[in-house]
Amino acid sequence: MSPQRRIPAPWILSLPVLTYGMIFGFAVVTMPQMLAAGGVPGGHIAVAVAIVTSPAFWVFLVGPILDVRFRRRTYAIVFGILAAGAAGFTIFYHSNLAVVEAVMLAGILFAGLYNFAIGGWTGALIQKDQDSRLGAWNTVFNFGGGGAGILLNGYLTQHLTPAHAAVIAFAAFVAPLVVFPLIPAPPPDKTLASESFTRFAREVASLFNRREVLVALPLFTFPSASFALTNALAGWGKAFHASPAFVSTSTGIGSVFCSIVGCALVPFLARKIPLRPLYLAIGCVGAAFTLSLLLLPRAPWTFVLAFSGETGLQAAAVATAIAVIYEIIGPDNPLASTIFGLLFSAVSFPIDYMEFVDGHGYDWGGVTGALLTDALISIVACAFLAIVLRKWLFAPRKKVVEHV
């Protein structure tokens, strides 16, 4: 890395992730509330949310475009504005379910590409000793942005006209982009940009020959530390005798503060425990916490404790996972956004499928069944990964900036 290039503090590098958090929070909380207010049946809303958020798990397929042709900052500006525009349009016009699904599907796709561009851009700038700090700040702004966005968009859509709410929300979504001029934006690798796509595809395929990537993929795709209950608990408020207003307020505030606490622990713990074992340790602690909830009464305060604890632990797990991703990327990596996109999608994958598994647990035994199902599967996954990956979990980091 050039010594003349001044790199801002990790919190500044991660600040743009607020945009991603706010837009994703809008898609999973505010948008369903607007559809429900418009008379859309609950079952249709659940399907709409699943469709809209699906790019979070397949957007990595188009992620390689972020490493060629233009600077990652350029991609981040374009996709960030497009994602914010999609959310703003949905606030202004949400009377047609098909239109909402199409617009927000594109919006979440753009948001995912924006997040990958930010991740690859900043991940290739930092040095080894900043991996855990950048991962923690990234997750703070991701989760915190989601909580802040839920509170802001809920107020805007309930108290302002659709046009005014859309304009203010759009301005809030794009506001974090003002720090872009402070972050150095090196040009894309000239070799990757000038060679044929076949050559570039071989470089992408080479990622699967790296031990670090092959260890990270099962670590992230198994449900060892997914904490998918954070996305399901809000729909089970009645089981805890919690009103919709109570659920909305407590989840919005809890997302902000508990994510900060969870992420703040990661840089400290990373000095004591290597990142990959730390990820599994968080999963084990989380499973024990989930089992402890079985002993508590179904009351509103239990809902707050459950959501807060699961959110804080999920934030810590995601922060650790992102730190692992940044460690794999390394400084000045020409495939930084491709690697970030692939592995971040792997982190998101178990959150998706465990929602279905936990839902079946709920159908089987209510909240007790869901908690028991989630905790036991997490414990089994952690134990399995610890056994299978035991030779590599504590292996020293290797340089990964290489070319085929």
Per residue in 134-182, pLDDT tens? 888 988 899 889 888 888 888 898 889 999 999 999 999 999 999 999 9
pLDDT of 1 higher than 60: no
Query: Could you tell me the pLDDT band of residue 402, with boundaries at 50, 70 and 90?
Result: very low
pLDDT of residue 194: 57
Residues in the chain: 404
Cα Rg of the chain (Å, integer): 20
CB 172 within 8 A of CB 152: yes
Question: Count of CB atoms within 10 A of residue 163's CB?
Answer: 12
Instruction: For residues 332 and 92, give the distance between their C-alpha atoms in angstroms, rounded to a whole number.
Output: 41
Q: Which domains does the chain have, with CATH numbers?
A: 10-388 (1.20.1250.20)
Q: Give tens-digit pLDDT for 192-237.
A: 655 545 656 776 777 788 888 889 899 999 999 989 888 778 667 7
Q: Single out the residue of 353, 55, 64, 402 nearest to residue 212, CA to CA.
A: 402
Report the share of the chain in percent with pLDDT over 90: 40
* Secondary structure class of 79 (helix, strand, coil): helix
- Is this prediction's pTM over 0.85? no
Q: What span, in angstroms and rounded, lies between the C-alpha atoms of 364 and 359?
A: 9
Residue of higher predicted confidence among 287 and 239? 287
Residues 321, 220 contacting (CB under 8 angstroms): yes
pLDDT at 127 over 90: no
pLDDT confidence band for 401 (50 / 70 / 90)? very low
- When pLDDT is averaged across residues 32-36 and rounded to a whole number, the result is 79
pLDDT average, residue stretch 252-259? 85
**Of 229, 230, 226, 223, nearest in space to 252 by CA:** 230
The band of 373, judged by pLDDT with boundaries at 50, 70 and 90, is very high
Which range has the worst mean pLDDT, 105-119, 129-143, 184-198, 337-351? 184-198
Structure tokens at 54: 């699906």
User: According to the 3-state scheme, what is the secondary structure of 276-308?
Assistant: HHHHHHHHHHHHHHHHHHHHCCCCHHHHHHHHH
pLDDT, tens digit, for every residue of 61-75?
888 888 878 899 999
* 260-279 pLDDT tens trace: 899 889 988 988 899 999 99
Higher pLDDT, 344 or 5: 344
